[in-house]
Amino acid sequence: MKRMLDILISLLLLAIFTPIILFIGILVKYKLGSPIIFKQLRPGLNGQPFYLLKFRSMNERKDSNGRLLPDFQRMTPFGAFLRKYSLDELPQLLNVLKGDVSLVGPRPLLMEYLPLYTEEQAKRHLVRPGITGWAQVNGRNSITWEEKFELDVWYVNHQTLSLDLKILVLTIIKVVWPKDVNQAEDEPMASFTGTEEKEKERQEYIL
């Protein structure tokens, strides 16, 4: 049932938003250049890798040594606007159709985080990742990584159709009325480096 709803809703949204998607693509090409779509390898169900699709939101500015500048220095006002209203994530509807992600589930993070999870945190990969999730409507970037993972695992253990619908409605509210969202949620989080418990496990293994 969840997979069927993912397909039906994503097809409906693509039909509605196709003109907007095309318009944003043109603006990205004009303001940021190519490629229009940003692809990055992310872990999906059971940690299997897939390419997550997003509209590009940063330029390619580099330092004197030819290395890309930090993300916050490459973010443009246009890119920040796309992220604020989650417009950069519209291409992920194609990921939903492919079965890489669901509309609702734990957000797919970076591949290098996989070995850093505790056994409990790793349970977030027992379901398909999502475009939005329980953690995104309960703090997003204003909560710690550990709190975010607790919310992800809680969703895995309690997922129902009614909960998914609730998360979708709350997501729409947060996108349409961003003034109700804590401003700290729009700030980038520091990279996840593992929890204290995981570090203890490593030290015990070394000893």
Residue 81 pLDDT > 50, yes or no? yes
Answer whether residue 204 shows pLDDT above 90. no
Report pLDDT for 153. Answer: 97
Confidence of residue 75 (pLDDT cuts 50, 70, 90): confident
Mean of pLDDT values over 162-175: 92
Q: With a cut of 50, say whether residue 69 has pLDDT above it.
A: yes
Distance CA 135, CA 150 (A): 8
The b-or-e profile of 19-49 (16+ CB within 10 A means b, else e) is eebeebbebbeeebeeeeebeeebbbbeeee
User: Is pLDDT above 90 for 7?
Assistant: yes
| 45, pLDDT greater than 60 | yes
For 187, what's the count of Cα atoms within 13 Å in the CB-facing half-sphere? 8
Residue of higher predicted confidence among 54 and 180: 54
What average pLDDT does the segment 148-173 reach? 95
pLDDT for 9 equals 93
The three-state DSSP-derived secondary structure of the chain is: CHHHHHHHHHHHHHHHHHHHHHHHHHHHHHHHCCCCEEEEEEECHHHCEEEEEEECCECCCECCCCCECCHHHHECHHHHHHHHCCHHHCCHHHHHHHCCCEEECCCCCCHHHHHHCCCCHHHHHHCCCEEECCCCCCCHHHCCHHHHHHHHHHHHHHCCHHHHHHHHHHHHHHHHCHHHCCHHHHCCCCCCCCCHHHHHHHHHHHC
pTM equals 0.84
β-strands 102-104, 49-55 pairing: unpaired
pLDDT bracket for residue 95 (50, 70, 90): very high
Mean pLDDT of the 86-111 span: 95
Spatial CA neighbour of 31 closest among 76, 81, 92, 73: 76
Asked if residue 27 has pLDDT above 90, the reply is yes
**pLDDT tier at 201 (50, 70, 90 boundaries)?**
low
Q: pLDDT-based confidence at 185, cuts 50/70/90?
A: very low
Q: Per-residue confidence at 139, pLDDT binned at 50, 70, 90?
A: confident
